[in-house]
Amino acid sequence: MKHKIFVNGIKCYAFHGCLPEEGRIGGHYEVDIEMLTNFSKAAEQDTLADTIDYVDVNRIVVEEMAIRSKLIEHVGQRILTRIKTELNGIEALKVKITKLCPPINGDVHSVAILIEDVA
């Protein structure tokens, strides 16, 4: 059986961007994680050890978002790699990073990247 787990809207204040000001001032970000897995055993037995712990997902995202990068594409790849490496039972994974109010000379609500690692 296939199941999906979503951890959505992980809010972070981080210092990513190509402009020097972005490294000093920072900005608001939201990260969404989607994981394809099989949590049948956890659903039947009500045991956390048989599924993906949301706390671990959040921790990885927060730790990687705290490391400055010029590109959110780079941060997204780091998050994807760590989740796949550190958490078991993930068959496919999506990482979406949204940068709110980006400094791009326009009235833009957000920009985002999506990385999909599918089976």
Question: Looking at the annotation, which residues are catalytic?
Answer: 99
**Best CA proximity match to 13, nearest among 31, 32, 28, 30:** 28
Q: In what order do the strands lie in the sheet with 92-100?
A: 3-14, 27-37, 92-100, 110-117
What is the rounded distance in angstroms from the CA atom of residue 62 to the CA atom of residue 56? 10
What is the rounded distance in angstroms from the CA atom of residue 23 to the CA atom of residue 15? 5
- SS3 of the chain: helix, strand, coil, percent, to 5: 35, 35, 30
Copy the structure tokens of residue 34: 């989607």
